[in-house]
Amino acid sequence: MMRLLRIVIIGMLLLACALHHTWSGRRVYNYGKYFANQPYLQQIGMPSQLKLPETGLIVAVIDIGMDLSHPAYKNKLIENDFRGESAIYPEDEACLAHGTAVASLIAAESREMIGIAPNVKLLPVCIGVPNPKGYEDIATTYYKMEPKDFIKLAQDPDKLKRFKEFAEARKKIILKNCANAIRYAVDHGAKVINMSFTTLQDTQYIADAVRYAASKGVVLVAGTGNSGNEGIGYPAKFKEVIAVGGVDENDVWWYEEKQLEGIPIPIRQGSNYGDGIDVVAPCCNLLHAFPTQLSDTIYQTTGCGTSLATSLATPLVTGLAALILSLNPTLSVEEVKQLIIMGCDDLGDAGWDHKYGYGRFNVGKTLTLMKK
């Protein structure tokens, strides 16, 4: 009898420990206190509070570089040894800013801002700046070039010819490194991969890597592109990828033209649209992290600023995919995608349309669907 009682007591203690572990493994995140700084959180239906599991789910961010010491997310980073082939890694704004912004929109947690999924771990897979042999002089300046620099370049036939040769060599390096980065992320435990990059070329490198990731149950998210044209880029165009377009603060398709000094024609930019687009997300004037070594004293103080592009819409949806899997890791890639689609607020024409896909994603609605 005493032995039976002892077994019952031990069982109750083990159950209590298990219950305590489950409870202590969740944490309440207060999104509401960031609504003033980040109005897009309310636009996407973000609940004011969420109790999230600290599962350590890994989200990979594939980009050219990132400020790995930024306080907004530095404690969430997973160290890794990935290096792009034939690439350099400059420690400057032009190389670091894009990846820093993307990472913060997914998982930041600081005084100034919060990411969509602050409970996850980030795997920064940085491909660097392409440095093709024989074009090293161009490689170190290309990624800093502004529109006026390209106009000037076009006026010199010899320089333009060499630049086109460089661009072709650069493209091959980027595509190969992006494909290698996708495979690396999958093999190092990523469950969601953010791809805030686009190319018009359907290459076997990227196609094979995307299919490999999907076959391993990894959710892939990519932006449609920023030229404002019909026709979305790759990898977003692959059926295995959630393709994300952009809208402004009023849920209107993002498009604008700017007249820049010294450039005879307007510079147009906007969210690419067309067959294959799945959802849209806010992409204008989003608060996000900037590299802390910038010379601007405001950015040095807060580490934050604002900008726009579908590159910024993409990590918002990536964040939701990460939330879904952290709450239910048994879901398939297709189930995650359908939950995001079914939770959308329909925009434009009823149902799917070329500019908005199935609509602007809504965190609250998708999480509610998960409870049914």
**312-322: average pLDDT:** 98
Q: Is residue 18 part of a domain?
A: no
pLDDT in tens, 266-280: 778 999 999 999 999
Confidence at 293, pLDDT banded by 50, 70, 90: low
3-state SS assignment for residue 9: helix
Range of the domain at 143: 27-370
Confidence at 22, pLDDT banded by 50, 70, 90: very low
350: Cα within 13 Å, side-chain hemisphere: 0
Return the DSSP state at 227. Answer: B
**Among 63, 70, 86, 110, the one annotated catalytic:** 63
127: Cα within 13 Å, side-chain hemisphere: 27
262/235 Cα distance (integer angstroms)? 34
**Among 67, 70, 86, 98, the one annotated catalytic:** 98
Q: Is residue 87 part of a domain?
A: yes
Q: Is 307 a catalytic residue?
A: no
- pLDDT, position 301: 44
Q: Is 311 a catalytic residue?
A: yes
Q: Is 275 a catalytic residue?
A: no
Q: Give 263: exposed, middle or buried? Use CB within 10 Å, 0-12, 13-18, 19+.
A: middle
Instruction: Measure the CA dihedral 331/323/64/291, to 10°.
Output: -170
- pLDDT, position 177: 96
Residue in this structure with the two tokens 């493994």, named with its chain if needed = 25
**Among 86, 104, 110, 311, the one annotated catalytic:** 311
Q: Is residue 15 part of a domain?
A: no
- pLDDT, position 203: 85
- pLDDT, position 250: 97
Q: Is residue 221 part of a domain?
A: yes
Query: Is 90 exceeded by the pLDDT of residue 352?
Result: yes
CATH code of the domain covering residue 352: 3.40.50.200
Give every CB contact of residue 196 below 8 A, 6+ residues apart in sequence. 61, 62, 63, 98, 102, 222, 223, 310, 311, 312, 314, 315
The residue ranking higher by pLDDT, 329 or 3, is 329
Are 112 and 299 in contact by the 8 Å Cβ rule? The answer is no
**347-352: average pLDDT:** 97
322/115 Cα distance (integer angstroms)? 11
**23-46: average pLDDT:** 92
Confidence at 7, pLDDT banded by 50, 70, 90: very low
DSSP labels, 304-359 = EEEE-SHHHHHHHHHHHHHHHHHH-TT--HHHHHHHHHHTPBP-SSSSSBTTTBT-
Are 363 and 116 in contact by the 8 Å Cβ rule? The answer is yes
Instruction: Measure the CA dihedral 83/89/95/99, to 10°.
Output: 30
- pLDDT, position 268: 85
**Alpha helical stretches, state H, 67-221:** 93-107, 136-142, 147-154, 157-187, 204-215
Q: Is residue 19 part of a domain?
A: no
Backbone angles phi, psi at 320, to 5 degrees: -65, -40
| Other CB atoms within 10 Å distance of the CB of residue 71 | 15
**250-279: average pLDDT:** 88
Name the percent of the chain lying above pLDDT 90.
69
Query: Is 60 exceeded by the pLDDT of residue 20?
Result: no
Q: Is residue 13 part of a domain?
A: no
Give every CB contact of residue 71 below 8 A, 6+ residues apart in sequence. 110, 292, 303
- pLDDT, position 25: 82
- pLDDT, position 308: 62
Confidence at 183, pLDDT banded by 50, 70, 90: very high
- pLDDT, position 305: 57
147/107 Cα distance (integer angstroms)? 32
The residue ranking higher by pLDDT, 304 or 245, is 245
Query: Is 90 exceeded by the pLDDT of residue 368?
Result: yes
- pLDDT, position 45: 99
Confidence at 61, pLDDT banded by 50, 70, 90: very high
Q: Is residue 319 part of a domain?
A: yes
182/198 Cα distance (integer angstroms)? 14
Query: Is 90 exceeded by the pLDDT of residue 43?
Result: yes
Query: Is 60 exceeded by the pLDDT of residue 296?
Result: no
Among 151-165, 169-183, 202-216, 342-356, where is mean pLDDT lowest? 151-165
Q: Is residue 1 part of a domain?
A: no
- pLDDT, position 247: 97
Return the DSSP state at 50. Answer: E
pTM for the complete prediction?
0.89
**105-114: average pLDDT:** 96
Tell me how many domains the chain contains: 1
234 DSSP β-pair partners: 199
pLDDT in tens, 196-216: 999 887 789 999 999 999 999
DSSP labels, 228-282 = --BS--BTTTSTTEEEEEEE-TTS-B-EEEE--TT-SS-EEEE--BSTT--EEEE
Query: Is 90 exceeded by the pLDDT of residue 339?
Result: yes
Query: Is 50 exceeded by the pLDDT of residue 154?
Result: yes
246/2 Cα distance (integer angstroms)? 67
Among 25-39, 141-155, 236-250, where is mean pLDDT lowest? 141-155
146: Cα within 13 Å, side-chain hemisphere: 5
- Mean pLDDT, the chain, integer: 88
- pLDDT, position 201: 79
